[in-house]
Amino acid sequence: MCLAVPGRITAISAEQADPVTGRLGTVDFQGNRVEASLAMVPQARVGDWVLVHAGFAITLLEEAEARETWEYLDSLGLAGVPEELRTGAAPGGERNVP
């Protein structure tokens, strides 16, 4: 079984892209930060939510979609819903819910 997980881009490497993996972004998954290729989402920016599978961000997500996915994973006992999705507050206290 394969699983793609939503995360928020916290940083993007230099705009100069690797010819194979494209730009690399640091993606936060509930406090765990990993680098992921942004080759499939060239329009991605810091603060965007992306769905990551096997080290590649495969699509952009709306925050509501990310919340729904984390809530589903939480209901299965696979993950806790990140606080910022539970409350709608971004890191630093900014409100993200429209």
Is 89's pLDDT higher than 50?
no
Token match 């490497």: residue? Answer: 13
Spatial distance between the Cα atoms of 74 and 14, rounded to a whole number of angstroms: 34
- 49-85 pLDDT, tens digit each: 999 999 999 999 999 998 888 888 888 877 655 555 5
Pick the CATH number of 5-86 from 3.10.20.30, 1.20.20.10, 2.30.30.140, 2.60.120.10: 2.30.30.140
Token match 């919340």: residue? Answer: 67
So where are the chain's domains?
5-86
Residue 33: closest CA among 66, 3, 54, 8: 8
Q: What is the pLDDT of residue 95?
A: 39
Q: Where are the alpha helices (DSSP H) in 1-98?
A: 63-75, 83-87
Q: Does residue 24 or residue 90 have the better pLDDT? A: 24
